[in-house]
Amino acid sequence: MTAEIHNTLSWKDKLKDYKELMKFTLSFTVVFSCVICYLLAPKVVEFDWSRIILLFIAGMLISGSANAINQAVEKDTDAVMKRTANRPVASGRMSVNEAYTFALIAGLVGIIMMYYFFNLSSALVSAFSLFLYAFIYTPVKKISSIAVLVGAIPGALPCLIGWVAGNDDFSAGGWVLFGIQFLWQFPHFWAIAWVAHGDYSKAGFKLLPADKGPTKFTAVQCVMYSVLMVPVCMLPYYFGLTGIVSFWIVLVLNLFLIIQCVRLFNAMDVKSARRVMFSSYIYLPLVFLALLADKVH
């Protein structure tokens, strides 16, 4: 049956499946952070479109590789969740071997591009990020809620990859940018897990910090991490990466996210969790764009 489905797909359908296999929207968001952090590196003094495009392509291939492995490993659990049942591997439109083949080729090409066009350090961090996401975070999701902590590392490493690609060192600025995206993921992902708790529970995923599902403890954690982001987001100004204008813009954005998390704590409902989720989607690109616009040259 799987083979029949596979053979009847048009090239447009196949292209659409590969786009879904690499989770294009998620990969684009990840690579956006990588590119912005590359441009924030002090040694990047001009806007070179050719290098930006190369970094974007390499990042999409690496992120797409990790997501393809994730879908191949989780095909059975994806199949039982409403939001993921139509993914190419879970639905049977694509074989596990095809997904792994795509992941291998895309991952290798992306890492080689990072090495050839940028530097060895960025290639090595990219390879580590891919491995951590695909082979550590993915299986841990069914074992313990610590998976969110584990997953937040490869989720934030694109910031460090972009910085290292532009600066060729692991100086403080790269770790500050890593820290911003690292902390951001906790309220963001817990809000998603709150909204999709029924689906995740059905698949056996343990992604909320409390075993009993959405609780006050989860809401408190969201508030705590959103508050922790305030001092971390002040560090780009402290280290002289950005000016005072972005300092105030980012502070306002941080307060906005804190307010949404506090509203979740007070209301304890899916509507408030969805509000945190969408607020976090808006928050991150605005923060990074503000930092880039106010970069100190």
pLDDT given for residue 6 in this prediction: 52
**Residue-level length of the chain:** 297
* Residue written as token pair 């280290």: 239
What CATH fold (topology level) applies to the domain 1-169?
Answer: Tetracycline Repressor; domain 2 (1.10.357)
Which regions of the chain carry the CATH code 1.20.120.1780? 171-297
C-alpha–C-alpha distance, residues 93 and 264, integer Å: 39
CB neighbours of residue 167 within 10 Å? 21
Could you list the mean pLDDT of each consecutive 10-residue stretch along the chain, which spans 297 residues? Answer: 55 87 92 96 90 97 95 89 87 92 97 97 97 91 85 95 95 96 95 87 78 86 96 96 96 97 96 95 96 93
CATH superfamily of 171-297: UbiA prenyltransferase (1.20.120.1780)
pLDDT given for residue 13 in this prediction: 82
pLDDT given for residue 3 in this prediction: 47
Evaluate whether 297 touches 204 at the Cβ level (below 8 Å): no
∠ Cα 25 36 221 (to 5°) = 70
Which regions of the chain carry the CATH code 1.10.357.140? 1-169
Q: Which two tokens stand for residue 24?
A: 């294009």
pLDDT given for residue 224 in this prediction: 96
pLDDT given for residue 9 in this prediction: 67
